[in-house]
Amino acid sequence: MALARPHHARERERADRARRTKTLVEEAAAASDQEREAILEELVRTNMGVARSVATRYRHRGVPLEDLEQVAYLALVRVAHTYDPSRGNDFMSYAVPSIRGEVRRYFRDQCWMIRPPRRVQEMQGKLAATESELSTDLGHPPSAAELANEMDEPVSDVEEALSANGCFSPTSLDQPTSTEASSIGDQMGEPEAGISAAEARVVLAPVVRRLTPRERKILEMRFFADRTQREIGEEIGVTQMQVSRLLSGLLARLREELEAGAAS
């Protein structure tokens, strides 16, 4: 089992990385285009641990850590190529918020299997960082009330966002239940046979009753008896072309009446 590095070792490593980063940024600013690319590659390699650390704060939220790390690495590459030292801020002050924002956007835009309202998605992004920080400060997972107080948000909004965690990775229907040797899906009811037909009859019955006996007969022969247009024409004494026009007109009328009924 690997032991955690002493605090002073981590501090020394951070200081070394900061010095190396500063040197590489200065070299990139003075280099030719070809040389600059090689220097920026080294700048990215030097700070991959920072990107990995940002991604790690969002683990255990339904998205593989490897995916989050890839998003963070790509963000770091983009930051390395767009950073402008003349603006006065140091590289890490620019890089960390940019990487964190990219990871949050990935959650917001790509990771919802069931997409809740935008305000809940945005609250989820804030929760991810706040919950990690508070857990470290408090020494235990923060409650909804503690999170709401830290974020200055209503407790009800925080609770709603917390309840949406499963939208990233809903429970599989193949997951076994705790009491029986069966899955969640096994305990779900089967679709009721004939329910769709029953619903259609309820909706169509009032409309069909307004048709003439001849029109109802044409519909019955075509859709219940499965008669061809030629057979229907021979039965009612018209041509196949006339049957086609009659059916088109009947279906258009039925559609209009159903849409008018739905809108009223």
In this structure, are 49 and 107 located in the same domain? yes
pLDDT at res. 193: 56
Count of structural domains, the chain: 3
Q: Are 127 and 90 part of one and the same domain?
A: no
Q: Are residues 13 and 84 in the same domain?
A: yes
Among 120, 146, 169, where does a domain finish?
Answer: 169
Whether 2 maps to a domain, the answer reads: no
Asked if residue 226 lies in contact with residue 220, where contact means CB atoms within 8 angstroms, the answer is no
Q: Is residue 49 very low, low, confident or very high in pLDDT (cuts 50, 70, 90)?
A: very high
Cα dihedral 143→146→147→148 (10° resolution): 120
Two structure tokens written together for 246: 């009659």
What pLDDT was estimated at residue 138? 76
Is 148 domain-assigned?
Answer: yes
Average pLDDT value for residue range 79-94: 84
Look over the chain and give the mean of its residue pLDDT values, rounded to a whole number.
79
Report the distance separating Cα 195 and Cα 204, nearest Å.
14
For residue range 163-219, list pLDDT tens digits in order: 766 555 555 556 566 655 566 556 665 655 566 666 667 777 888 888 898 998 998
Same domain, 18 and 72: yes
Cβ-contact 131, 142 below 8 angstroms:
yes
Clarify whether residues 36 and 97 are in a common domain.
Answer: yes
CA 37 to chain centre: 35
pLDDT band at 1 (very low <50, low <70, confident <90, very high): very low
In a domain, 176, yes or no: no
User: Is 128 part of any domain?
Assistant: yes
Same domain, 91 and 16: yes
Same domain flag for 101 and 122: no
> Among 87-101, 159-173, 240-254, whose mean pLDDT is lowest?
159-173
Give me the mean pLDDT over the 115-144 stretch.
73
Domain of 148 in residue numbering reads as 112-169
Residues found in the chain: 264
| CATH number of the domain where residue 36 is located | 1.20.120.1810
Q: Is residue 32 part of a domain?
A: yes
Give the pLDDT of residue 263.
63
Indicate whether 177 belongs to any domain: no
Q: Output the pLDDT for position 45.
A: 93
pLDDT digits (tens, 9 = 90+) for 66-83: 988 999 999 999 999 988
Are 103 and 123 within one domain? Answer: no
**What pTM does this model have?**
0.46
